[in-house]
Amino acid sequence: MKHCYTLILGLLVMSRFAAAQVSLDTTTRASPLTLYGYIDGYYGYDVPHPNNTARPGFFYSHNRQDEFTVNQALIGLRYNDNSVRGALGLQAGTYPEANYAAEPVVLRHIYEAYAGFRPLKKAWLDIGVFGSHIGYESAISKDNWTVTHSLAAEGSPYYEAGARFTYEASAKLTLTALALNGWQNIRDNNRAKAVGTQVQWRPTSKLLFNYSTFFGNEQPQDSVRRQRYFHDFYVTYAATSRLSALLLFDIGKQQRRRSFADDDTWHTGAAIVRYQLAPQWFAALRGEYYYARNGVVVRELGPTPNDPDFFVRGGSLNVDYRPNKHASLRLEGKVLNARNAIFFKTNGQLVHTYGNLTSTVALSF
């Protein structure tokens, strides 16, 4: 944590120096260097109410209950002069604590850290740590339609480390190819690299189609290779200036653990409708499910002896108040139901149904 504070102080000093340099420029040209920050404080309450502050183990964001805490505190610098670009963002909070637990301590506070240039007029090549090319949700909760992340987002990467080549084929079509250390790894856990692709098509200003893929070996030892294949599909549609909808479907497969076993597969889907109630008020309704054969890619809440598969479905409703572009106050209620009894009660018993309330206050610049 001491190293994180030192780096944050360095970012602030650099941003002040950049601002001073820009003030000496008499032209109206915008500075290529920008400072950004974000903090997301929250309080949650679970039903049934457990006797500890941890939420189910497959939650990585807003994963604490019955305590006031910070999901993500983030500060960073970005540089872009349209020929070279780069970013360094540092974070702290319960989100990186949970989601980066497998990384070395010195790397857990990195939100993004990459450098890039234009090898072609309409292309970028970036190398480093950056946000995932999978899914519609950002790790930054305020940018998402719902307060808490979907089951699909919690079961797929939030960040990646590697090389990213992005090509703007047209104003409507963007193509991306990636070579990665793995499935949400900064430190490579084996010597096998993964690859990914992304296609984003905007036929109109109201409609977006996305198709992303991932392929790689995700076992920590090279001697035990199990290839993982993953496909992510989603579409967003702005029906009116106030009403928007999203549909998502993900499907993945991992090679069998034993020669006589079947491959492990998983799939997940979500539908969200978002409506602007008034100039500063928004609401979103979400339905979703997640199925994983043998509990593959689901941390904790592993398979039970009688039914080894993980299957959870549910829904949520949130209301947001945004007094200005820098602040948001949000409240969400969520209910999930599992085929197996996997949710803990206070007395240690397991039940099928789980609910929570999550309230957040977020500030950004």
DSSP 264-281: EEEEEEEEEEEEEEETTE
The pLDDT of residue 13 is 44
Answer yes or no: is 235 within a domain.
yes
Per the structure, the complete domain to which residue 177 belongs is given by 39-58+116-364
* Structural contact between residues 267 and 251, judged by C-beta atoms closer than 8 angstroms: yes
pLDDT digits 0-9 by tens, 182-204: 999 999 877 889 999 999 999 99
Q: Is residue 46 part of a domain?
A: yes
Residue 139 · residue 61 · CB < 8 Å = yes
Q: What's the Rg (C-alpha) of the chain? A: 21
Q: Is residue 11 part of a domain?
A: no
Per-residue pLDDT, averaged over 226-245, amounts to 96
Nearest 5°: CA angle at 35, between 143 and 160? 55
Q: Examine residue 296 and state whether it is found in any structural domain, yes or no.
A: yes
Percent of the chain at pLDDT > 90 equals 75
Is 220's pLDDT higher than 80? no
Residues β-bridged to residue 91 = 74
Q: For 274-288, what is each residue's pLDDT tens digit? A: 999 999 999 999 999
Confidence tier at 258 by pLDDT (50, 70, 90):
low
Highest mean pLDDT among 48-57, 183-192, 243-252: 243-252
Residue 106 has pLDDT above 70, yes or no: yes
Regarding pTM above 0.85, the answer is yes
In a domain, 224, yes or no: yes
Q: Which CATH number fits the domain that encloses residue 157?
A: 2.40.160.10
Band the pLDDT of 219: cuts 50, 70, 90: confident
Confidence (pLDDT) at 5: 46
Mean pLDDT of the chain: 89
Handedness of CA 270, 94, 184, 262 (dihedral sign): negative
Q: What digits encode the pLDDT tens for the residues 335-355? A: 999 998 888 877 778 899 999
**Of residues 125 and 15, more confidently modeled:** 125
Per-residue confidence (pLDDT) for residue 300, from 0 to 100: 46
pLDDT at 17 over 50: no
Burial class (CB in 10 A: 0-12, 13-18, 19+), 95: buried
Quickly count: other Cβ atoms within 10 Å of residue 358's Cβ: 26
- Is 288 within the bounds of a domain? yes
- Quick one: pLDDT at residue 260? 65
Question: Which two tokens mark 327?
Answer: 């602040």
Cβ–Cβ contacts within 10 Å for residue 169, how many?
12
Tell me the pLDDT band of 223, cut-offs 50, 70 and 90. Answer: low
3-state SS, one letter per residue, for 175-201: EEEEEECCCCCCCCCCCCCEEEEEEEE
User: What pLDDT band is residue 225 in, cutting at 50, 70 and 90?
Assistant: confident
Predicted confidence at residue 295, as pLDDT, reads 83
Which pLDDT score, from 0 to 100, does residue 26 have? 42
Position 29 pLDDT exceeds 60: yes
pLDDT, tens only, 138-186: 999 999 999 999 999 999 999 999 999 999 999 999 999 999 999 999 9
Confidence of residue 18 (pLDDT cuts 50, 70, 90): very low
Extract long-range pairs of 141-145: CB within 8 Å, 24+ residues apart: 141/40, 141/61, 141/62, 141/71, 141/72, 141/360, 141/362, 142/38, 142/40, 142/328, 142/362, 142/364, 145/244, 145/246, 145/272, 145/274, 145/284, 145/286
Number of domains in the chain: 1
